[in-house]
Chain A
């Protein structure tokens, strides 16, 4: 009871996390088109990936949107289906540079992953789709080149929902993990629902697929090591992917949120192979053994104990899952009920998500992009469109839904899908860009009235991959607190967030020291780091 009173006091005292929607005034004009026309094709439900990428290295976060295509041709038959790249003009306005960048794309695009696979200092893009993935190399002059065939990453021609860049073998070059969903053919779409009321089929109506792991050969090409790595024998229905070193052995592990079958945690064994340990780790299923419709995922330290915890979204009546990593080789603990997340999300359907410290108080909060499945309105008796939700993290113990205080723009329901996180206006507060199915994308500018300090770390790997993805960072504050985060762009569902590693410092204006553990275990400590700035740490 006392804890509740104290925690309640914290909630009341803290300034509300607030967002203003600024997409239109910023010129970020994009509508995600899924080409739904009454055919109830399964692919219409997914897609909507968003990436944050500073493609021109000007220090301002740019935005890429993946878009759909006509069905059944799966061709981008008009400009309405174009993928889009928006350059951030560094004044919170954006310019559509899709054409000059050469990123309009082909096919029915789903997701996007940003990462500098060739270590040339320019982040590249991998765009997944239905029966076709594309790798775009950033040429450094504002243009991208389709290097899919040359790189050898286009094989498979399946339906890939998410992807992420990860240096799984710590050789200093980013490899690629692709999350594949189900076998799908427009001509063989099963018909579901009642005769008079058709609806999208349950994923059970489709055969699942394994994920795919592509090893970077350091020469612009990749080798498919799916089978050799032990990934290929695990058939799932992959949605979001997240990476982190869950057991502290210096090797990045892979989590795949599966839809309606159990999720996978691939433990990196350090010899190029992975062991699937979702069951043993306690993250494969909901507490009652039920396989939720896993959507987005984020592996990040929720309670500042230095170990990455796991957040997964699902659909209505699943409840979103939060698993705490106790470390020491012990399985994850189900934290959904005790933090309040479980009952607070049971009536929601979540897509992308992220754990970021929106009020810079030192505790990572939760952001969920929400909407029920399209056309579910008539079954629910209420709209499929939902307003997004933000949960404040109270000392790593409780999560409080503070969405109602997050501003009027935040209350507007829509068919939200992908979400990517970055500080678009470089004011130290984490913003979010959200794609909307058949509606205008949203840019939630974080306007939380806080005087809390912050720090962002840009990593420059030398022996490690240039972006430093997979690196773990510990920030030590003068008041004795330690904060933890890691470098990853694989966040949420189908989306890719900024590579900078952010920390809310609370009332501390500086860090006594910042320690980077680079992939492979090499440690590097920087003392006396002033806050309220982006600091670059070079390996």
Chain B
């Protein structure tokens, strides 16, 4: 925090573009993207080497799928300050989101080196490792991300879910269920956590409980799990629970979604 504050003081003291950057940041948070782009461009016109502005521009560019712009901005930022940890993390994200996993790997590793306490960097490095088939390292990093968040006093439900999913794939069902339940305890309204719990319960042969968890997931909003995914789970859960009519209801609901 002290370092960040010092950086803030340093940038605001010396950069003519800083106030425009701050304005751009406010506009971005308010989701007024066009105005935010204009403001950040103004900040960079006034100070082309303003690292926070370059980083914000990259973040905004990624939000609208302009990964080429993001990459350029981040490379400029890192040329100015190779130790800019958030820029390095976003540089990794740029590669991750464009499926360039081999490039994402060293960027996230560097972001971790620059700030070992950054749970996000650990989490995304884990996801990258998993997609490259490095499951042991991925699992270690998922554990580390969760630990870092606990230490920081900000445990997040979503951080636990990749670990729950990977453990399920590995057939470590009891552990997977534990992770899903922890995620749900942190955010009882998490659709994704409810879905993961339903998946592992179904795999453990507890079809009735899986169906209940799945139905609850369907009632919850948000998250990344789609209605179609939940309906598919519920078809199988209700089938295994001997409730063919309920299963068929979800099959029809899924087909209705497909027909849209």
Nearest-neighbour CB distance to chain A for B195, whole angstroms, equals 8
Q: Which of B169, B228, B231, B233 contacts A342 (CB 8 A)?
A: B169
Q: Which residues of A have CB within 8 Å of B170? A: 343
Contact at A289–B233, with CB atoms within 8 Å? yes
| CB <8 Å contact, B169 and A343 | yes
**CA separation between A346 and B255, bound complex, in Å?**
28
> Any chain B CB within 8 A of the CB of A337?
yes
Question: Known contacts A290-B229, A337-B169, A337-B171: does B102 contact A280 (CB below 8 Å)?
Answer: no
Question: Once the chains are docked, how many angstroms separate the CA of A280 from the CA of B165?
Answer: 24
Within 8 A of A (CB), among B85-105: 98-103
Any chain A CB within 8 A of the CB of B133? yes
Chain B positions 78 through 90: 1 when the CB is less than 8 Å from some CB of chain A, otherwise 0: 0000000000000
Q: Does B74 contact A (CB under 8 A)?
A: no
A331 in contact with B135 (CB, 8 Å): no
Chain A nearest CB: distance from B128 CB in Å?
Answer: 11
* Interface of chain A residues 378 through 422 with chain B (CB within 8 A): 379-382
Whether A279 contacts B232 in the complex (CB less than 8 A), given A194-B67, A289-B226, A337-B171, comes out as: yes
Q: Chain B residues near A207 (CB, 8 Å)?
A: none
Interface size on B, residues (CB 8 A): 35
B236, A194: Cβ atoms under 8 Å?
no
Partner of B232, one of A196, A289, A338, A343: A289
Q: Which of A279-308 contact B (CB under 8 A)?
A: 279-280, 282, 284-285, 287-290
Q: Cβ of B31: which chain A residues have Cβ within 8 Å of it?
A: none
Is B206 engaged at the interface, CB distance under 8 Å to the other chain?
no
Q: Which residue of B lies closest to A196 (CB)?
A: B68
A450 to B99, CA, bound (A): 45
Describe A's contact surface by its main secondary structure: loop
A284 to B230 Cα, complex, angstroms:
14
Q: Determine whether B117 belongs to the interface, using a CB cutoff of 8 Å to chain A.
A: no
- Whether A379 lies near B102 (C-beta < 8 A) is yes
- Is A195 an interface residue, CB under 8 A from the partner? yes
Known: A194-B67, A195-B68, A342-B169. A381 touches B199 (CB 8 A): no
For B116-134 the 0/1 string (1 means CB < 8 A from A) is 0000000000000001110
Q: Considering the complex, which residues of chain A in the window 40-93 have a beta carbon less than 8 Å from any beta carbon of chain B? A: none
How many A-B pairs fall under 8 Å by CB? 63
Given contacts A194-B67, A279-B254, contact A343 B135 (CB under 8 A): yes
Q: Which residues from B are CB-within-8-Å of A342?
A: 169
With most chain A CB atoms within 10 A of its CB, the pick from B68, B226, B232, B255 is B232
User: Least Cβ distance of B132 to chain A in Å?
Assistant: 8
Given A280-B247, A280-B248, A280-B251, A194 and B229 contact (CB-CB distance below 8 Å): no
Q: Would A282 and B236 be within 8 Å (CB), given that A194-B68, A287-B199, A289-B226 are in contact?
A: yes
A319 to B228 Cα, complex, angstroms: 20
CA distance A244 to B121 in the complex (A): 49
Question: Whole-angstrom distance from the CB of B134 to the nearest CB of chain A?
Answer: 10
Instruction: Convert B154-185 into 0s and 1s, putting 1 for each residue whose CB lies closer than 8 angstroms to a CB of A.
Output: 00000000000100011100000000000000
Chain B residues contacting A347 (CB-CB under 8 Å) are: 132-133
**Contacting residues of chain B (184-216) with chain A, CB-CB under 8 angstroms:** 199, 203
Q: Which residue of B lies closest to A340 (CB)?
A: B171
Whether the Cβ atoms of B102 and A338 lie closer than 8 Å is: no
Give, as a whole number of angstroms, the nearest-CB distance from B201 to chain A.
13
Q: Are A379 and B100 in contact (CB under 8 A)?
A: yes
Q: How far is the CA of A379 from the CA of B99 in the complex (A)?
A: 7
* Contacting pair A381 B248 (CB below 8 A): no
- CB-CB nearest in chain B for A290: B229
Considering only residues 355-399 of chain A, those with a C-beta below 8 Å from chain B are 379-382
Q: Check: A317 CB closer than 8 A to any chain B CB.
A: yes
Q: In the complex, what residue of chain B is closest to A284 when comparing beta carbons?
A: B232
Q: Mark A344-357, 1 if CB is under 8 A from B, else 0.
A: 00110000000000
Q: Are B236's CB and A331's CB within 8 A?
A: yes
With A289-B226, A331-B239 as contacts: A279 and B255 at CB distance below 8 Å: yes
How many Å from the CB of B223 to the closest CB on chain A?
Answer: 13
Q: Is B235 an interface residue (CB 8 A)?
A: yes
Chain A residues with CB below 8 A from B131, complex form? 317
A289 touches B230 (CB 8 A): yes
Q: Which residues of chain B (226-254) have a CB below 8 Å from chain A?
A: 226, 228-233, 235-236, 239, 247-248, 251, 254
Chain A minimum-CB-distance residue to B131: A317
- Interchain residue pairs A-B with the least CB separation, the first 5: A381-B102, A289-B229, A347-B133, A289-B232, A279-B251
Binding site for B on A (CB under 8 A): 194-196, 262, 279-280, 282, 284-285, 287-290, 317, 319, 330-331, 337-338, 342-343, 346-347, 379-382
8 pairs across A/B with beta carbons < 8 Å?
A279-B232, A288-B199, A288-B229, A289-B229, A289-B233, A337-B169, A343-B135, A343-B169
